[in-house]
Amino acid sequence: MLPHATLTLSCLLEAGRHEELLALLAEKKTRLWFDEKFAVEALLRQGREGDALALAMALLEGDRRPWGHHEIMRFCENILLRQTKADEAYRRFGLPSASSNTWLAMWRDLVKRNPDRDPRRILEDLIALHGRKGKWFAAAMTAGYLDIALDCASDPEAAPATPHPGGAGFCRQESYLRRPGGAPRHCASSRRSRLRCKPSRYR
């Protein structure tokens, strides 16, 4: 590639010199999203959505995650959404690419990006995909799906002191078990009892 490649590619793109841009990138031996995003944008501006999608998906092939994996997944998701293939977009790219700094935020982000999809089903899909059921306790509680929260509470990974909006209405009972090594472990039955004591005003 030429020096200042990003500037060169950007100028070619904005000048409408799409074929020159694509030819320049075709000479590269290594394909990275950092450069290829200009190629897919050039294809989109030519009305070649299928080719743009195929190029982006090709970068996802292989055992190792490519640089810009999350951005590529979102790009593919958006293309399929534009093609009114909402279910395929969700299953192939939206759900697998969901990420955030908390499990609750991950669920909220996916719900926001899929307003026509059942939020409860999205939560169940995330739990099925990622496992670690106990980690989804707060998300299920906040969403108001107490049956799912109850199921999550029985998992050893469920946090014993997970904060929740209706915390003041819960029973204050705390129960602990001791592991053989002496480390305290919050009793799952205590978590379940607090869920059952929760007032209906939570919803």
Q: What is the DSSP string of 16-40?
A: T-HHHHHHHHHT-SS--HHHHHHHH
Provide the residue ranges of all domains of the chain, joining segments of one domain with +: 1-97, 100-203
What are 31-34's contacts with CB under 8 Å, separation 24+? 31/58, 31/59, 32/59, 32/66, 32/67, 32/68, 33/59, 33/66, 33/67, 33/68, 33/71, 33/72, 34/6, 34/67, 34/68
Place of tokens 């919803």: 203
Q: What is residue 157's three-state secondary structure? A: coil
Which residue type, as a one-letter code, is found at position 82? R
Structure tokens at 77: 């998701």
Place of tokens 């998300």: 139
Class of residue 84 by CB neighbours under 10 A (exposed 0-12, middle 13-18, buried 19+): exposed
Burial class (CB in 10 A: 0-12, 13-18, 19+), 160: middle
> Which of 135, 125, 127 is CA-nearest to residue 92?
125
pLDDT value for 160: 54
Q: Which two tokens stand for residue 46?
A: 């030519």
What is the number of helices (H) and of strands (E) in the chain?
12, 2
pLDDT along the chain (203 residues), means of 10: 72 93 89 91 94 93 83 93 92 89 90 91 93 86 90 76 44 36 44 48 38
Global pTM value: 0.67
